[in-house]
Structure 1
């Protein structure tokens, strides 16, 4: 019999309670904590790392402190989100939308999906656009259009997405994706150090804080910890779920080290002339070309993680499970569905105008809401706030305010960009 609290929108594939009543007991068939760590780093660090020197240019050196504050805020809400998964002690919820349902009913589930789905499917589309564009610019001796390179990238991404069912299998790719990010940071740091003695940048200026631009800087920096869209499935893929807090702390801490390693020398060297991405400032040599190659590698390796997260959500909801169809037919239905998803992403990447700015608008609203606002609201509703001390409540209020501020400022900026797109198009 279905538990009365189980969301009607889910396929009800809850993790069973063990005989000892411990929902966090070892899961023998799942992946290691190292793979979970790599999944988080690969998704969270991403190509946004290269925009951080520009974020410091917007807000000044105070951005370093904002970055560290953002780390603690994102870490705190990720822990609250996991507590919501196990809130009733009977079973583990299966997804972020399920948390929204249990907290606020059908309206909560729909609200989470409204932010969640465009981000989880939109980010891989942006990765395909970025990959196709960079491949076109990098491989100049071949007469292949950017759209063709996008379809080639789509085919490459589709192979692991279709063949590997869960994040446990995809995790091996995330390890290489995380390493690609590290190499990318090394390239950025090396270029910043080389250019520090370049007389072209001898007159750059730095500020401690630029108050008019501070809200935009906060919005830009807070986006760097947008991992909540995959956390539920990353935790589900872990053999030792009790290690979640340590794993997410280590992963986000590592991301922050990479961020600081890129942001500080980049802003120190280029100051008020820092560009986004920072590769545009770096010396035009083989090392910058290597950085471009690793950008392409990273997005191709990260896209299957996000697409698998999306597919797992939808497959549960539409009943593509071994329990309902058997192992052979489940694989057939899953393959067909994932082929459709990959094709859809490739098509959107090729034909939708201004998709990047549309996604920026959705990202501004969705990322900050999913990272900073909803975990706290769901926690208050499911578990309660009365047992929290006053300083915990103050910390939660601060996080929610930052989330709302970042969403508002980021949305205004994205709307302005869309307005410029349409005006330029009508002018032509």
Structure 2
């Protein structure tokens, strides 16, 4: 079979991996149950966040913990009925968010983020997707003095330690910069370096079209049918069985279904999120995220996309509309938006690891099987950067980033748990 690979998962992470493998001479088949970019990658904020040099930590502030526990804010929600199931992972998440451990984790996270724009640039240029991408950055809004003070201190830290450009705006300067805002805010931070995408799913499809134009195949199939052959891997698809020398699991929030069946017990969980589009004829100079309230306002092809913060729940639990209702109310306080475009809000899940770093590397107990998932909030941002890293390791090249922080073997495994 030579240099051949199956990539399971047609989101930003899977499509980017497939393209990078193709660039290294691999014969690649991309397998998903839907068309590329129609699951988790479709529903995000559409931001390629070069400034996101630190992952989202679990709060240690007692006041914030109390607010979360009592479900008083709109930025974080949880389902009581799922709490017992997700609590062990949240405890690990909280533990890893302690200052000493978080500092080490952030170092590994920043090593990936610093390459996010340059790796997207390669794929944007090659795919002719520049019409989908804007370079106006985004604006972080604050409602409270406490939030603004903490945010500005963090912004200065990012500028000093990582060279991330930002501009701090007081209330009056923000009002002049964004006259469409009808609610005065305490202040804001403008981050000029990130890109915004007016249709995230369409960008993934453009990358997939680039992959297809290079000779790659995209087929519909069931990743759970993945099976180990004597000299490779096979999966059942609509085109019949497809086999290859190597396989990559890039299934985002569905990765645990397959890895768990194979005997791996990674500390995986999801943060669910919601969005809805609204009719709006106004103009923003940059997308906005109100971090105090957990709501994003994002001009997109279908209208103004209003998103929620994080919901801790099991992936397939019934939707809870509490945050989306709250986000719509908050959005109407800030902008004069019209009616909703969709009858029902979109719901999706972010694939998270308890130590906040993605899992990238060869499976410890299965030769030729590679893991590439767990990007949490930043799969859309990091897909091309981590896709390159994964492809380099698979091809036996010297990796351009130290892969050690993301290795699957950072977690312990009981060999007796693996099926014979």
TM-score, scaled relative to structure 2? 0.27
Relative to its length, the structure with more helix (as a share) is 1
Relative to its length, the structure with more strand (as a share) is 2
Using CA pairs under 8 Å that are at least 6 residues apart, name the structure with larger relative contact order, 1 or 2: 1
